Amino acid sequence: SLSQPESLVPSYRLYHSDVPAFESPYSVSPVGVFPYRPQSVQLAIVDETALEVTWEAPANDGGDDIIEYEIQWYSTVNQDEVQVLMVEGATGGTFTLTVPAGEAGPFDYDHPAVGIEL
């Protein structure tokens, strides 16, 4: 118990074994606890192709070492999604955007991605 310093109460009186006492009708079944979420999660844009996620360890590890983290990525929901295709060395010209839903263009080579709709 964190409420009592061990100097006041001996450690053998603070903790209970999960092994039942001899001929006792009672038993103890430990219940697992999930760790808390990481703290101070931050997302930074590194460049046009990379993001960086940083965090601090959770305040409670659930009683066991944390050996891995799972990072989940969700696409936008009910939001316009902008995807950018970068072609190195393009100094002029036009392009046409063709997808299964249709075709749009021609656009100047440096046309911004925002505003193109099919």
Domain count, the chain: 1
pLDDT of residue 86: 65
Q: Which residues on adjacent β-strands are paired with residue 51? A: 45
Domain residues for the domain of 53 are: 34-76
Residue 105 inside a domain? The answer is no
Which residue in the block uniquely carries the two structure tokens 């263009």? 105
Residue 46 inside a domain? The answer is yes
pLDDT of residue 65: 83
Averaged pLDDT in 10-residue chunks for the chain of 118 residues: 61 63 73 86 85 88 82 70 65 78 81 73
Residue 67 inside a domain? The answer is yes
Tokens of 32: 């697992």
Residue 117 inside a domain? The answer is no
Tokens of 70: 């799972």
Mapped to the 3 state alphabet, what secondary structure does the chain carry?
A: CCCCCCCCCCHHHHCCCCCCCCCCCCCCCCCCCCCCCCEEEEEEEEECCEEEEEEECCCCCCCCCCCCCCCCCCCCCCCCCCCCCCCCCCCCCEEEEEECCEEEEEEECCCCCCCCCC
Q: Is the pTM of this model over 0.75?
A: no
